[in-house]
């Protein structure tokens, strides 16, 4: 099983949508929110994903087609 950490930045139209929930259900990915901030105009989340590497890549491609910016993160922003 592979692990990948990403920072997802959400546009205003997606802030109230269950994107992370859908990501975990559409693809065989276990998601773990490591850090997040949401306001009325924008939101971001540092997300750890675990699963098959190809499945994680398909999930990332899907969220970007939804309009989410996906940036890789090196290291862990919250230890534990």
Q: pLDDT band at 17, cuts 50/70/90? A: very high
What digits encode the pLDDT tens for the residues 36-66?
999 988 899 999 999 999 999 999 999 999 9
Helices (H) and strands (E) in the chain, counts: 2, 4
Q: Which domains does the chain have, with CATH numbers?
A: 2-72 (3.30.70.260)
Q: pLDDT band at 74, cuts 50/70/90? A: confident
Res 75: pLDDT? 60
- Surface-to-core class of residue 31, CB atoms within 10 Å of its CB (0-12 exposed, 13-18 middle, 19+ buried): middle
* pTM of the predicted structure, to 2 decimals: 0.87
**Which residues, 6 or more positions from 71, have their beta carbon under 8 angstroms from its beta carbon?**
6, 7, 9
Q: Strand pairing partners for 5? A: 48
Run of H or E including 23: helix 19-26
């Amino acid at each position: 099983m592979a692990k990948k950490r990403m920072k997802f930045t959400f546009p205003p139209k997606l802030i109230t949508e269950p994107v992370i929930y859908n990501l975990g259900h559409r693809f065989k990915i276990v998601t773990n929110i490591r850090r997040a901030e949401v306001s009325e105009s924008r939101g971001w989340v540092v997300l750890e994903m675990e699963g098959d590497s190809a499945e994680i890549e398909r999930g990332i491609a899907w969220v970007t087609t939804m309009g989410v910016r996906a940036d890789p993160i090196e290291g862990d922003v919250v230890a534990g």
